[in-house]
Amino acid sequence: MEKLVSSPWFNASILAGLLFLMMGFLIRRFPPKTTKTWYGYRTFLSTQNKEMWDSANQYAAWFSRRGGLILLAVGLAMGLIFETQTDIFLYLTIGPVIICALLMAGYTEWHLHETFDEEGHRRPGK
């Protein structure tokens, strides 16, 4: 077990990539019905009304699936490049996970801001 954990194939990008993919497919297949569900994209803006909740979760699930594929590719590339887990290896595998999570939140909030007005009504043409 120790050999697996210290292997460069066991890295944050691969693990988070699988998690992002599973989360994206889970929310796509079984969208959370209400803000009281135990899973879903939950922020102040996304919980304003049902339409915003649905839109935020649909967008976050889409982004999560794309981000998961990118993280998997990064993790596999790092597994090929590095023979052992070094400090730079850790930065190169953990950094993309943090960036992907921040981008998902930022782009989903931006999507909501562009799609809905301040009162939570869908903007014309959106």
pLDDT digits (tens, 9 = 90+) for 96-116: 999 999 999 999 999 999 999
pTM of the model: 0.90
The two tokens of residue 23 are 């989360």
Q: Are 14 and 70 in contact (CB under 8 A)?
A: no
Whole-number Å distance between alpha carbons of 13 and 73: 8
Reported as a single tens digit per residue, the pLDDT across 39-94 is 999 999 999 999 999 999 999 999 999 999 999 999 999 999 999 999 999 999 99
- Average pLDDT taken over every residue of the chain: 94
Whole-number Å distance between alpha carbons of 106 and 62: 14
Whole-number Å distance between alpha carbons of 3 and 26: 31
